[in-house]
Amino acid sequence: MRRRVVITGMGCVTPLGHDVETLWQALLQGKSGISKTEIFDASTFPSTFSAQVKNYRMPEHLAKRHEHAGRHTSFALGAAEQAWKQSGLGESKAYNPDRTGIYMGSGEGNLDFDNFTSMLIDAWKDGKLDTAQWGKLAFERLSLHREQEQEANMVVAHLAAEFGIRGPAFNVLTACAASTQAIGEATMILRRGDADVVMAGGAHSMIHPYGVTGFSRLTALSRNNDDIPGASRPFDLTRDGFVLGEGSSVLILEEFESAKKRGAKMLAEIVGYGSSADAFRITDQDPDGAGAASGMNAALADAGIGPGEVDYISAHGTGTKQNDQVETRGMIAVFGPEMKIPISSIKSMVGHLIAAAGATELVSCVLAIRDQIVPPTANRNTPDPECPLDYVPLVARKAKVETCMKNSFGFGGQNDSLIVRRVRE
């Protein structure tokens, strides 16, 4: 028998709340975390709004030990501490640091744009870069610690140092699917016995000029500047793109017998993980939804359950024309054209947290199982004939929820699905 994997802790720092319960209540009430961008002056950009983490400060003890942490790393540290505390591992010391791992889906940190730009101007001579002058200025002006944040594994490094974790430590950056894949791969580590506990999740912040420029050039962002709270409209006929967000969610995954032995509260069990690639285009999904369907089918097979046993689907649901139609086609291929499973996208309220999106949405699945209620898809006012399923529009819904599927799809054709359910003895 393969080793079972349960969730014993969760934490988050998001645009809708800096802890799990605040986030959850905001989602159930259909609140929007989207507003005018304040992190930088976005007034001349096609999209002047985003889903920002506001008024967040790391706890003082963390800030002292990680004073050079970048923005997304600070989110991860805060979320991880919440999850660690809920799991009871820190208080009980009932874990082996060498048998405890980390697997994060996290992005590159923010560049030091101000100094970088001034260096470029001062080192530009006769229409080209004076590399000697650039080198001199780089040593004078750039912060070593801030530039290190460009390494995607810095989140993992900070978390390992903070919690004394000495087991397997990995980071994956498969775009918008990263944290779902990280949690799936962490599950595999636990199943095969390479660790007993894994801290897993995602962290990302791309709300800066470079990040917004890139997505704007792809025409992926909503430009609904006249209705900012309603700009993220997954599965709605009038949708025009996603809303860029930021944040972090972290979960403590633990081998079932380990958690049982120490009397930990088990929040849910991860029973299925599936992954596939579209092998189509770098930025577009295969329009027939075959890649998405393949990932979902793999997760069902891994869980050993049939499509009829899924009670709720937390969709990737970005709000772009293509993604929502492709995901819908994939779900229909797996569950059938007459499927009645409630589906929702919390990106309609919290925005798209990129590498942190999947982990945050998985947290909502665990809470849906706990409270027997599914969050709504906000702003889904006008049905799209190409998206004919039950997307739980506008209002949260009481429902029997024992088993959930979480979908995530990333640039490059990455498809990942997780299945979680109530823990059974």
What are the boundaries of each domain within the chain? 5-110+149-421, 113-145
Of residues 381, 344, 281, 307, the one with CA closest to residue 27? 344
- Structure letter (DSSP) for residue 233: -
Q: Give, for all 425 residues of the chain, the pLDDT tens digit.
A: 799 999 999 999 999 999 999 999 999 999 999 999 999 999 999 999 999 999 999 999 999 999 888 899 999 999 999 999 999 998 767 789 999 999 999 987 766 677 778 888 999 998 999 999 988 888 887 765 655 666 778 999 999 999 999 999 999 999 999 999 999 999 999 999 999 999 999 999 999 998 999 999 999 999 999 999 999 999 999 999 999 999 999 999 999 999 999 999 999 999 999 999 998 887 778 889 999 999 999 999 999 999 999 999 999 999 999 999 999 999 999 999 999 999 999 999 999 999 999 999 999 999 999 999 999 999 999 999 999 999 999 999 999 999 999 999 998 889 999 999 999 98
- What pLDDT shows up at residue 6? 98
- What pLDDT shows up at residue 285? 82
Q: Which helix (H) or strand (E) holds 262?
A: none
Task: Look up 145 and say whether it is catalytic.
Answer: no
- What pLDDT shows up at residue 205? 93
Task: Look up 316 and say whether it is catalytic.
Answer: yes
Sheet holding 5-13, edge to edge: 169-172, 100-106, 197-205, 246-255, 5-13, 268-277, 414-421, 403-410, 312-314, 343-344
Please, what CATH class does the domain formed by 5-110+149-421 belong to? Answer: alpha beta
The two tokens of residue 230 are 């309603």
The two tokens of residue 221 are 């962002």
Between strands 268-277 and 197-205, the pairing is: unpaired
- What pLDDT shows up at residue 148? 61
- What pLDDT shows up at residue 145? 60
Could you give the CA distance from residue 406 to residue 393 in angstroms, rounded to a whole number? 18
Could you give the CA distance from residue 151 to residue 376 in angstroms, rounded to a whole number? 36
Which listed residue (176, 365, 387, 404) is catalytic?
176
DSSP string for 375-400: --BTT--SBBTTB-S---BSS-EE--
Instruction: Determine contact, residues 109/149, Cβ cutoff 8 Å.
Output: yes
The two tokens of residue 215 are 């997505």
Between strands 268-277 and 414-421, the pairing is: antiparallel
The two tokens of residue 217 are 């050039």
Task: Look up 404 and say whether it is catalytic.
Answer: no
- What pLDDT shows up at residue 287? 87
Enumerate the β-bridge partners of residue 201: 104, 250
Which listed residue (12, 316, 387, 404) is catalytic?
316
- What pLDDT shows up at residue 299? 98
The two tokens of residue 354 are 């990129």
- What pLDDT shows up at residue 151? 76
Q: What is the pTM of this model?
A: 0.95
Which listed residue (158, 208, 352, 387) is catalytic?
352
